[in-house]
Chains A and B, each alone.
Chain A
């Protein structure tokens, strides 16, 4: 027999961003519970709104599957005396409630402690009712919010104050108690539709029943409703709504019965910098600005309200009023900030602490300027230095602006916009605007070379200075987002094809700190090297480079991320080729062979066997082609030239004994292998590649 089961937990409003996790975690724990108790169900579906979560289970078995279990008794040698059960066995049967168990069904097993008597017994099948009643309180308690809370006289801690519990197994209530509250059949209607008890009948009818009381319990249903309404409203003003808008997820969990409303704001606010307009709407109001088909902003926005069906026109007016207030406020900041030149704000950075031990933002700006100049030298952009330095000097000044104080996520962008009021090239303004980029793993990146230099200098300064005072990221804690900044550096260098020696740049960044605090250069540099290598490993893998390839390329040189990326790409391209695979295997063999040998020089006069001569000739030829391609950083061709040695190497190993008795011959052969090894190690430590011998076609 099978049942349907419904569990609904009614609480006060939960934090929207946490709800999907709470819902999924609870459903997963429930499925685990079923598995642990050998209960099967046709389906388990989690649901949640802002103030309820739970499960709808269909086709739940009424009883566990019956199984036999082996029970181990006393040691075999004391279990029987003269073929009859001895007291040790009889006592054991009594303790297990198995008096009268047929002794001939007791058998001998051997485990790590010796020989024992054992028997098979039927494990009684328990009912789903019994199991759920017993296990669900623990399961409910195990679902946690990031900040659990207590309420009343000290009830909880729990996600939010608990108001009700519905537990229905088909038509009956499960006798469940949790946090002192007994489960009943009464769910609740929408807060703004009476917030009244709704008696639940059969579990399967629950979603439709609640819908009748203006609660859409399934997130999917709410998402669909939002998407349809948003698309319709957008279309009505020739605008478009992005169905992947990041606010959508939050909208789904902010409401029990979402209604999308459209509002408009005065055209004059379209003159605000778009960044500020968008940020004010999204950040504060959780409203999505609409764009026309040409991508330009319209004086319209969409917002979600949580109401039973109603005439939402009045509410839209109310939201418009609030939005208007917000935008007026934003205009105030913009006007205020435009009244003072950005360059006049630079000295205010003195007031702004970067870190108690690292001084203020003016000092930090000074370090970034020096680092940017250094990077310009390193990357061949010397002629841009004067303009670069003027941009670098202004790049943090927006932190002293009212707009950034109000919209912190617009840091950099505001600076870029305000810089337009300075005597600065467009490229320099864009560079300031972009210098916090990239924010995520797939860009966007700084638009121009100057922006790249500023972004790199800013991140390198932050990472190196915090490493110098040992504020390192540990485990899941990275309060200064150093990992994200490190990843950002790698992404920029790779994406923009920019060569840079991170070792040298980090050394420079550490030297710049020597004026304000004692720095253990060697120790900090070692930690930074390790950190950058980890970041590069992470970024390369995120870009699809296999772990073994990352290890192979970084082992020989990790300080130039773009170069490492090029080498990794070439290996990815070739690693499936038979010649390349065989070369890698031979390389591994060479490595093992020369591991303990001293270094020797090749003496061509000592080459004796034909295959030895052939390998030498092939090597000299391959080396020429290899080096030509290698210096051009055409690593694909370099690998091709190298892999051509796989045949000669195979013949060599097949026919020539390297470790011969003649020491001079042996050393000469080792010298040949060492030369090959040294040459190709310039690209990667090929012995790290996990490859299997290929069949020649």
Chain B
């Protein structure tokens, strides 16, 4: 099964089980969790089911398109089920069978791997799902977000789409993975990995990026002052990404690292708190 079929098939599977299917967020994010459909929705006590693909941009993971497994940008298929159904593990296994993985022929295990995003005051307990020893999914029961207990408890399934597609097609390099019936992943994306890796590692203007960091911080504060939570949060996403660029450029000055993370965290907290309070009203 090629990559786009896997995406369509997973979307269909979760759509049939009551999920809202939304589109990727149109800003750079490091993980599907940062999409407002996860970040904000898990904060309220209302049941919610949603699924979407989210391209996840991690500048420091870029490898100029030369490493067969590492990508500056990879695709996550994200599912949020709130409250977590008791049979969620079985549902998940069904979804794998649905995309053509014959679990009788493979070894599938749930190994402890907890998740934590200190910048967002969020953490969860869960597993990495290993298929014949390869991590294909991060499976997390979210316990806290924005520093608050999650009730009901959402479960987050994050499928690593490239990994799964590589596994199903048994190809040695991500770039050889069939994207569609006629094009490979490399034909579609290699160019992007090459140029954008180079940009993040060598070209990005450090001084200007740092200035933008200050700007979006002030902008986020200003939006919070206007009680505009989503714009304030979009600034937080910008801040996270700018931080990642500075990090990839090797210029997050040592002592500054904790400091920058704390500044982002502080704003993310404000957004989360504001949303949770609004939910109660």
Chain A interface residues (CB < 8 Å from chain B) = 12-17, 50, 147, 149-154, 160-161, 163, 192, 195, 254-255, 285-287, 303, 305-307, 310, 314-315, 318-319, 321-325, 328-329, 332, 348, 351-354, 356, 359-360
Cross-interface CB contact of B152 among A149, A152, A255, A323, cutoff 8 Å: A152
Question: Quick check: A13 and B67 within 8 Å, CB to CB?
Answer: no
Interface residues of B in 41-71 (CB under 8 A from A): 63, 66-70
Q: Given A13-B112, A149-B125, does the pair A323, B151 have CB atoms closer than 8 Å?
A: no
Question: Quick check: B153 and A151 within 8 Å, CB to CB?
Answer: yes
Residues of A within 8 A of B69 (CB): 325, 328-329
Closest chain A CB from B206 CB (angstroms): 12
Question: Quick check: B172 and A329 within 8 Å, CB to CB?
Answer: no
Q: Given A163-B86, A192-B104, does the pair A154, B153 have CB atoms closer than 8 Å?
A: yes
Q: How distant is the Cα of A251 from the Cα of B68 in the complex, in angstroms?
A: 29
**B69, B83, B107, B166 pick with most chain A CB within 10 angstroms:** B107
Query: What 6 pairs across the A-B complex have the smallest Cβ distances?
Result: A353-B254, A318-B132, A15-B112, A305-B107, A13-B110, A149-B125
Closest chain B CB from A330 CB (angstroms): 11
Q: How distant is the Cα of A321 from the Cα of B84 in the complex, in angstroms?
A: 33
B182 close to chain A: CB less than 8 A: no
**B83, B166, B170 pick with most chain A CB within 10 angstroms:** B83
Residues of B within 8 A of A318 (CB): 106-107, 131-134, 167
Question: Quick check: B112 and A16 within 8 Å, CB to CB?
Answer: yes
Q: What is the 8 Å Cβ interface bit string for chain B, positions 136-170, against chain A (1 contact, 0 not)?
A: 00000101000001111101000000000011001
Question: Quick check: A332 and B258 within 8 Å, CB to CB?
Answer: no
Residues of A within 8 A of B4 (CB): none
Chain B's closest residue to A310 (CB) is B104
Q: List 12 A-B contacts (CB under 8 A).
A: A16-B112, A147-B125, A149-B153, A151-B86, A153-B152, A254-B109, A285-B133, A286-B133, A322-B134, A332-B63, A351-B253, A353-B254
Question: Quick check: A328 and B127 within 8 Å, CB to CB?
Answer: no
Question: Quick check: B107 and A353 within 8 Å, CB to CB?
Answer: no
B257 close to chain A: CB less than 8 A: yes
Question: Quick check: A13 and B111 within 8 Å, CB to CB?
Answer: yes
Q: How distant is the Cα of A151 from the Cα of B107 in the complex, in angstroms?
A: 26
**A16, A319, A352 pick with most chain B CB within 10 angstroms:** A319
Question: Quick check: B104 and A351 within 8 Å, CB to CB?
Answer: no
Q: How distant is the Cα of A15 from the Cα of B114 in the complex, in angstroms?
A: 10
Residues of B within 8 A of A356 (CB): 254-255, 258
Cross-interface CB contact of B89 among A12, A348, A353, A359, cutoff 8 Å: A12
Closest chain A CB from B169 CB (angstroms): 11
Question: Quick check: A161 and B86 within 8 Å, CB to CB?
Answer: yes
Question: Quick check: B109 and A306 within 8 Å, CB to CB?
Answer: yes
Question: Quick check: A287 and B133 within 8 Å, CB to CB?
Answer: yes
Q: How distant is the Cα of A307 from the Cα of B107 in the complex, in angstroms?
A: 7
Q: How distant is the Cα of A424 from the Cα of B13 in the complex, in angstroms?
A: 61
Cross-interface CB contact of A13 among B105, B114, B127, B132, cutoff 8 Å: B127
Chain B's closest residue to A321 (CB) is B170
B279 close to chain A: CB less than 8 A: no
Residues of A within 8 A of B103 (CB): 192
Residues of A within 8 A of B166 (CB): 325
B108 close to chain A: CB less than 8 A: yes
Question: Quick check: B132 and A325 within 8 Å, CB to CB?
Answer: no
Residues of A within 8 A of B109 (CB): 13, 254-255, 305-306
Closest chain A CB from B142 CB (angstroms): 10
Closest chain B CB from A302 CB (angstroms): 12
Chain B's closest residue to A351 (CB) is B250
Q: How distant is the Cα of A286 from the Cα of B172 in the complex, in angstroms?
A: 21
Q: Given A154-B152, A356-B255, does the pair A192, B67 have CB atoms closer than 8 Å?
A: no
**A150, A161, A318, A351 pick with most chain B CB within 10 angstroms:** A150
Q: How distant is the Cα of A287 from the Cα of B83 in the complex, in angstroms?
A: 36
Q: Given A147-B114, A351-B254, does the pair A154, B151 have CB atoms closer than 8 Å?
A: yes
Q: What is the 8 Å Cβ interface bit string for chain B, positions 247-260, against chain A (1 contact, 0 not)?
A: 00011011101100
Residues of B within 8 A of A323 (CB): 133
Question: Quick check: A324 and B67 within 8 Å, CB to CB?
Answer: no
Cross-interface CB contact of B68 among A149, A303, A307, A325, cutoff 8 Å: A325
B208 close to chain A: CB less than 8 A: no
Question: Quick check: A12 and B110 within 8 Å, CB to CB?
Answer: yes
Q: How distant is the Cα of A149 from the Cα of B150 in the complex, in angstroms?
A: 11
Closest chain A CB from B268 CB (angstroms): 22
How many residues of chain B get a CB closer than 8 Å to chain A's CBs?
Answer: 48
Q: What is the 8 Å Cβ interface bit string for chain B, positions 86-127, against chain A (1 contact, 0 not)?
A: 100110000000000001111111111010000000000101
Question: Quick check: A325 and B172 within 8 Å, CB to CB?
Answer: yes
Residues of A within 8 A of B170 (CB): 321
Question: Quick check: A352 and B254 within 8 Å, CB to CB?
Answer: yes
Question: Quick check: A149 and B133 within 8 Å, CB to CB?
Answer: no
Q: What is the 8 Å Cβ interface bit string for chain B, positions 224-251, against chain A (1 contact, 0 not)?
A: 0000000000000000000000000011
Q: How distant is the Cα of A352 from the Cα of B153 in the complex, in angstroms?
A: 38
Q: Given A149-B141, A192-B103, does the pair A303, B70 have CB atoms closer than 8 Å?
A: no
Q: Given A163-B86, A332-B66, does the pair A315, B107 have CB atoms closer than 8 Å?
A: yes
Closest chain B CB from A343 CB (angstroms): 18
Question: Quick check: A315 and B106 within 8 Å, CB to CB?
Answer: yes
Question: Quick check: A353 and B86 within 8 Å, CB to CB?
Answer: no
* Given A318-B131, A325-B166, 10 extra CB contacts under 8 A: A12-B110, A14-B112, A149-B143, A150-B153, A151-B155, A192-B108, A254-B111, A306-B107, A332-B66, A356-B255
Question: Quick check: B70 and A151 within 8 Å, CB to CB?
Answer: no
Question: Quick check: A151 and B254 within 8 Å, CB to CB?
Answer: no
Closest chain B CB from A307 CB (angstroms): 6
Q: How distant is the Cα of A12 from the Cα of B139 in the complex, in angstroms?
A: 12
Closest chain B CB from A400 CB (angstroms): 9
Q: Given A325-B69, A329-B67, does the pair A319, B257 have CB atoms closer than 8 Å?
A: no
Q: How distant is the Cα of A305 from the Cα of B70 in the complex, in angstroms?
A: 26
Q: How distant is the Cα of A254 from the Cα of B155 in the complex, in angstroms?
A: 22
Question: Quick check: A150 and B143 within 8 Å, CB to CB?
Answer: yes
Q: How distant is the Cα of A352 from the Cα of B107 in the complex, in angstroms?
A: 40
Q: How distant is the Cα of A307 from the Cα of B130 in the complex, in angstroms?
A: 13
Q: How distant is the Cα of A160 from the Cα of B126 in the complex, in angstroms?
A: 9
Residues of B within 8 A of A17 (CB): 112
Closest chain B CB from A324 CB (angstroms): 7
Chain A's closest residue to B170 (CB) is A321
Residues of B within 8 A of A153 (CB): 83, 151-153
Residues of A within 8 A of B110 (CB): 12-13, 50
**B83, B89, B112, B131 pick with most chain A CB within 10 angstroms:** B112
Closest chain A CB from B122 CB (angstroms): 14
Q: How distant is the Cα of A16 from the Cα of B128 in the complex, in angstroms?
A: 13
Q: How distant is the Cα of A687 from the Cα of B92 in the complex, in angstroms?
A: 70
Closest chain A CB from B119 CB (angstroms): 17
Closest chain B CB from A67 CB (angstroms): 45
Question: Quick check: B132 and A319 within 8 Å, CB to CB?
Answer: yes
Q: Given A152-B86, A321-B132, does the pair A314, B68 have CB atoms closer than 8 Å?
A: no
Residues of A within 8 A of B67 (CB): 329, 332
Cross-interface CB contact of A353 among B134, B149, B255, cutoff 8 Å: B255
Closest chain A CB from B42 CB (angstroms): 13
Residues of B within 8 A of A314 (CB): 105-106
**A147, A153, A325, A332 pick with most chain B CB within 10 angstroms:** A325
Chain A's closest residue to B125 (CB) is A149
Residues of A within 8 A of B89 (CB): 12
Q: How distant is the Cα of A13 from the Cα of B258 in the complex, in angstroms?
A: 34
Question: Quick check: A360 and B107 within 8 Å, CB to CB?
Answer: no
Closest chain A CB from B148 CB (angstroms): 13
Question: Quick check: A152 and B133 within 8 Å, CB to CB?
Answer: no
Closest chain A CB from B117 CB (angstroms): 15
Chain A's closest residue to B107 (CB) is A305
Q: Given A149-B141, A353-B254, does the pair A315, B132 have CB atoms closer than 8 Å?
A: yes
Q: How distant is the Cα of A13 from the Cα of B126 in the complex, in angstroms?
A: 9
Q: How distant is the Cα of A360 from the Cα of B167 in the complex, in angstroms?
A: 41
Q: How distant is the Cα of A351 from the Cα of B155 in the complex, in angstroms?
A: 38
Chain A's closest residue to B89 (CB) is A12
**A153, A163, A287, A324 pick with most chain B CB within 10 angstroms:** A153
